[in-house]
Structure 1
């Protein structure tokens, strides 16, 4: 039962929990201080925003999404919900691909590549942990 879970119970759960806590923390940072998020990506925040600039609006939306996603990941980790863990791997790799292509095609600055690499590293860590757990379970039942 989730209420009794205090820590993740598997290596894959730990990868999800760490990613979730980081996502939630970065989401909070973006909500409280959008310029800090801009700086974390290696960009320089503007002193003032011209009329019609919706940068802060989009940072608020993505920060709220990151906060929510982080909470979902932590709750899934505490429940050791492996189907959810598996679902995240290809989609996090897709996120890496889209973000990397955005940088390579000039749609996003190079600092944005870090976000994609973070997603890829988390996906690979979770995927490897799931594979290790699956192989370990197969040896136990064999």
Structure 2
């Protein structure tokens, strides 16, 4: 696998690896994952308790998400990076509300914090990457893939042609 080529790429890669590992842990050793999250692990489950089923589904989703994140890192898919910032902040909000509403145990707030901090780290990485790729005084504009493309010398704002070039 290729290493990330940007700061934002590193934040996405770290999250991808952790999602992949945590998904695998949930599939292979679900009790350990439940304990890490602060959930009780009874010796037996009552009829109609689908905790195991839900854990398999969410662990598989986490595993797949890890693969998606790593694929985005390898291809430097910056549109995906920006997309994750928004939805990881949504996830932070939902998980925080779940803890505050006593739907989830207090230790589950660690998952919310991880999502929120990851979103902020990726947003900062995207900003730093854009500044690093733009020459001094140039205005960086996104191309169709979402990557920052510096304005060409002699062009107006956002890469527009100078007014005197249009006749």
The 5 Å alignment of 1:34-49 reads 34-49=30-45
Partner of 1:92: 88
Shift of 1:44: 2.9
Shift of 1:43: 2.8
Partner of 1:75: 71
Partner of 2:113: 117
The 5 Å alignment of 1:24-63 reads 24-63=20-59
Distance in 1, Cα, partners of 2:82 & 2:76 = 11
Shift of 1:140: 4.8
**CA separation of 1:140 and 1:79: change in aligned 2, threshold 3 A:** farther
Any stretches of 5+ residues in structure 2 without a counterpart? 139-167
Count of aligned pairs between the two proteins: 138
The 5 Å alignment of 1:15-26 reads 15-26=11-22
Q: Hey, which bits of structure 1, 4+ residues long, moved more than 4 A?
A: none
Any stretches of 5+ residues in structure 1 without a counterpart? none
Shift of 1:141: 6.7
Q: Which has the larger radius of gyration?
A: 2
> In angstroms, what is the RMSD of aligned CA positions?
1.3
* Structure having greater relative contact order (Cα 8 Å, sep ≥ 6): 1
Distance in 2, Cα, partners of 1:48 & 1:140 = 64
CA offsets per residue over residues 94-130 of structure 1, 9 Å max, x none?
0000000011011111121111111111111101000
